[in-house]
Amino acid sequence: MPGNVASLGFEATSTREFGDHVRFTPGSKRRVREVTVVLSSWGCETGAWNTGDCRTSKRAKFRHPITLNLYGVSGGGLGPLLATTTEKFKIPYRPSASSKCGDGRWYSRKEKTCFNGFALEVSFKLREGVTLPDEVIWGVAYSTTHHGYAPVGQGAACFTEPGGCGYDSLNVGSESLALVGTDVDPDGAYLNTTHAPFYCDGGAGGVGTFRNDTGPPVCWTGFRPMAKFEARGRGGDDD
């Protein structure tokens, strides 16, 4: 896991759900018990990532519920909901601003470079397991102060605290790193936003609906929503 990855911010882009359409090895049976998604945390315990005063104490975290949805595919698009799970994760704030960067970013000793956000993984446990078909559409959903399927609202205590609400600066990773399987549309991603201009097609295909967001113009090429499926195959071996 690098220090940070390219990502989509839910509060910043009026997003409700974000994910992708993937294809597994055709014909194999798979029972998925765990799905890991990459996030990027830009929030600070006090201050902000873009004001040069970000301060985070060691191991500081906030808790927030995040939902994973797994859908079938119908007619090449979104099919029925196959499984859903919601877990409340402890999300670390990004590290404090470093004087080595000079612009409010944090410094990674490992990579010897500066980042705005902090990449991390969260794993959803499907304890009973779910057998998936050859193709699925996955999506991650969570609420922020003003957006999501059930916006938290400005009444939350964190809204008036120095660092604000960490979930307002929480993003979902979207970068084309290692790939196993097939990204059905490498130029598209599945997105639900209530603000038409944030869709690649300007909302022509619908607004406030979870759908394949693809061109023209092409705008997701090289930015693949990041998830890993842990599955058991026909003979019990890991897929």
Per residue in 65-93, pLDDT (tens digit) is 999 999 999 999 999 999 999 999 999 99
CA distance 122 to 75: 31
Range of the domain at 45: 7-232
Please report whether residue 2 resides in a domain: no
Please report whether residue 1 resides in a domain: no
pLDDT at 178: 62
Please report whether residue 39 resides in a domain: yes
Question: Strand runs (DSSP E) across the chain, as ranges?
Answer: 7-9, 15-23, 30-41, 61-74, 77-92, 106-108, 113-115, 118-132, 135-141, 170-173, 182-183, 189-193, 211-213, 227-232
pLDDT at 208: 97
CA distance 233 to 235: 6
pLDDT at 215: 74
pLDDT at 235: 45
Please report whether residue 201 resides in a domain: yes
189-200 pLDDT per residue, tens = 999 999 999 999
Please report whether residue 138 resides in a domain: yes
Q: How many domains does the chain have?
A: 1
Q: Do residues 21 and 73 touch, judged by C-beta distance below 8 A?
A: yes
| Mean per-residue pLDDT pooled into runs of 10, the chain (239 residues) | 95 98 82 95 96 94 98 96 97 97 96 97 92 95 98 95 95 84 89 96 94 84 92 55
As given in the structure block, the two tokens for residue 100 are 């080595």
pLDDT at 233: 63
Measured distance between the N- and C-terminal CA atoms of the chain, rounded to whole angstroms: 21
Residue 22: name the closest of 56, 73, 60, 66 by CA: 73
Please report whether residue 209 resides in a domain: yes
Please report whether residue 178 resides in a domain: yes
pTM of the complete model: 0.93
Please report whether residue 175 resides in a domain: yes
